[in-house]
Chain A
Amino acid sequence: MPNKNILLIEPGYKNKYPPIGLMKLASYHGPYGKRDNVKFIKGESEKSVLNASWDRIYVTTLFSFEWREISKSIDFAIQAAYGDTRKVFVGGIAASLMNERFTAELRWRGVRIIKGLLAEAPAIALQLDDFAEELYSDDREGTPIEDLIPDYSILDQIKDQYLYPVRDAYFAYASRGCVRKCHFCGVPKLEGAQRDAQSITDVVNGIRERHGDKRDLMLMDNNVVASANYKNIIAEIRDLGFQKGAKLERLGKPSVKRRVDFNQGVDARILCKDPMYLREMSAICISPLRIAFDHIGVRKPYEAAIRIAHDVGLHNLSNYMLYNFHDSPTDLYERMRLNIDLNVELGIRIFSFPMRYQPTDRPDRSFVGENWHRYFLRSMQIILQASHGIVSGSPDFFNRAFGDSADEFENLLLRPHHFLFNRSWFEEHDGRPQFEQFAKEFKTLKSEDRSELVKLLSTTTPSKFHELEMQASHLPLKRILRHYLPMNKDEEAKIWEKMKKQAKKLPSDVESVPEDELVEDAGLAEAA
């Protein structure tokens, strides 16, 4: 029954990687599969799809905090199905992590909200009802959609509208699941226990045959070093043309350096046990090597792993730093500091990417960890915004951005936000007297005053800071609160105008980080 009309929708959020799940569904329905007509859209801007007749509509979902964008897409899909919710299928990460919440939505009754991977035969994984004789409901023995070669050609359908930062890459998994059950992570719920996935050679060759050579190899394993098959996986990667220093020659294109990226990071607690792991890793063109550093408690294995990496010649390092979970600002500062110290000592380059924790089942980003404050989180975002979410490896820049000590860091987090936004204006230019006045008053505050201050500031949004004065317990606090009143917009615009001539100084190491190495969604653009 070819020639059915299939619509694939990715919600209109910003994301870094193409929707692999939809690409596999495209493969199931497309020229190498059922030979249906596959249409891919991102967001709801392409209204013409509302005039067509669709046999099936798939909506993918990613971050749970993008609930609003996701909802819009599901509503749009139902509209495109002329209200027939039976034709609409919703899957992906958010739909799996918040399955109950999606299912409870009355207006989506009849939509199939799929939890987990499409790892069984298509009709089973998609819950197709053969009793109702639904389309392809007899496909109870076919290859699981999860195992199909993703169809890259659908990305061309939206290339004028959206380009994924990472696209010239083979996307594959050497393993799935994870040996650990970290509470902050969605993987145990999504994928379960650690196991080997299909052969990456088959996937890479399949993609190459159908869609041409790709420069990079993006391996989305959650914890590849935990795989018993680790050495074979590395050997396979080498054999696929991703050995150390590998280059790709493509007709009519300049020769490019290849990269292998285990983009979910690797586990320091395993790496530190045997230098074999990183020695193996150094035989492929890994770039960057991402080692997770989730809390200061794993400092020892983390540091050991970095030293081994240095020994085996892996100098381009990057690490994810979870914050806003059980950690505190001091914990985060110490982790960042350690990287700076290691950079200096070993002459390597480690970038830190602080990643704010969000519970995996919450539809927004409003969560505040037990040792954090709403106000601190917003300050952290402002500081990170200036360097695209990256913590520079250069000690000078680091000290300026985050302070010389953990106390200094906490003081920065408590600074009025316009002082952080327009830092050089207030620290080095005409704004200085104003900032110095604040600094003088701030110095006189006792530590309990400071904690009262941050609590007060975290109770409301900046537009209501003027109401806080009444709530403050004593005069010095009342007085300092005046510095926190948001700046007049025109005044701020004038500052920007004057500061335009001052070239924006980004640390050179930060500037060199390609977009595809940045944190996928640091939420920097969003108000806390």
Chain B
Amino acid sequence: MIYCPKCGTANRQGSKFCNECGAPLPATGLRCPMCGAMNPAGNLYCDRCSARLIPAERVPPEEEKPERPSPPKGISLPSVPLGEEEWLSELRAEALDLAPEEEAPGWPGELEAPGEPPTPEAAIPEWLAELEETVPEAPPPAEKPTPPLAGIPVPPSGEIPEWLRDVEFAPPIQEEPSAQPPPVAEVDVHAGMPSASTTVPPILIEGEEEILSTAPAEIPDWLKEAPAEAPPEYGGLVPAEIPEWLRPLQPREGVAVEEEPTETEGFLSGLRGLLPIGKGLDMPATAQPLLPRAPRPAAVARAELLQGLLSRPLITPPTAEIREAPRQSGWVLTRFLVGVILLAAILLPMLVRLPLFGPPTAPTAEALFATVNHLPGNTPVLIAWEYGPAESDEMDRVAGPLIEHLLRREARLIVVSTRMEGPAAAEALLASRLVDPSERSRRIANLGYLPGQAAGVREALGNLGGRTEAMTGLPASQLDIMADVHSIADVGMVVILAAQPDDLKTWLEQISVANPNVPVVAGVSARIELISTPYLAAGQLRGMVAGLTGGAVYERQLDTGWGREYEYYLTSIGMAQLAIAALTVIGALIFLVGGRKR
């Protein structure tokens, strides 16, 4: 698998582009310089022609020397012994080659790993021999030899200094055994100064407790000039001349040197003089500022600038001042004028009888009328009530005459709806069209809301008797009107009252699957008349009444006396349509001449 460098998606081997984000994938192989074949990235030789893929001077991965173990993160001193450094090995080898009378510096030997006894006679390494040559014959008049490293006992006066001999160590001081062996050398930070206490702990290397001893080495000539006797106040020890630079570090006399507590935890255990760790913090409570005595002027200027910024009061970002685009010219005037014109167009026909329009025509509504007229009496008719209050002003005038016609034909109306407000809208219209309210239970069953849209329709069509009457709460199977109606197969006609094309489509699709032979008619809003016409042409609808015009035609056919109301509505709508058409033309001319918005 190849992993995309951009999004990390795993892609099939051989892919050039990531399947997820389209980023190009890295090259996945090595091209052979001889034959041009692609080989897996790990190959050293070509699979086809065996030519070498990686140049010979380049060291193959397996021939590389093993890496040094990296130290644990965050720790500067190793807690486990590292492999011996090469330079140390060489030094050790040189030391081993030294003649017994030659001096060898004692400190490399002190760093030897435990278990390796130093050679009794070590030859002087070259660097030391060179140093010996440069050292003047005359002993240094005032300076005393530098005291030996910390922890090394000072030899008594006249004796060979410790650091010249071949590692002669004092026996270790018996300390209280600690719970954990100290991992590294225990170093006294105040070492180097002669102290009241002459006993200094010896160097302990890597848990080494035994101090190796070697045969004493010969004192070099330049050191023989050391004073033979030590002043009495030093108890026989030869006092060293403290160099000038070291004098400030000299402890004051009379001041007892406090022994620092020894660290007992971690890799630094055994060390003394470490900074105490605060609770949860490494920084001391009062940290002294580490500023130079005389900061540079540029730094002072920057500091002052920062200080100035920080000392300013907190400013809350201002709330976004939303720059509204300047009101389009005439926006309010346009809306006002259009509103006035529309209102006038709608109200005028209601105030003044305007014989502008002829009688409405709707051939599809007349065909539907004829279909319903041939319906046998007492036929169960399923009504899909798919509109709500928003469309009720128009749809009530489409559905009203149709419902009344069905009631006149003694049909039993079974109402369902996939819209939540559908059953309530149905009840409102049914109550207004039903002449005798007591007939309701015998003529109408409102089976309520069908959740799930298409799925709910399919389920309802297959099990009408399993539903519950919305008004009474009774199971539909217990209603007299539903006595012989269990599913769509028992229904004589389906009427779909829809204001949305989706509702019409859903019902037609489900009915065509459940019972393609049942006649289906529709009452639709004018806005979906165009979309519904193909269903009429295809025969899925036997008739359709569309919009207020269709409703008016149907009412006229029924001769219900609601005609006058439709006349007002239709005239007002006609006037409004005329007004909108005029406004469209006028607006087009205005903006065509006046120029478009930039």
Q: Are these two chains actual partners, yes or no?
A: no
Q: Which residues of B are interface residues toward A (Cβ below 8 A)?
A: none
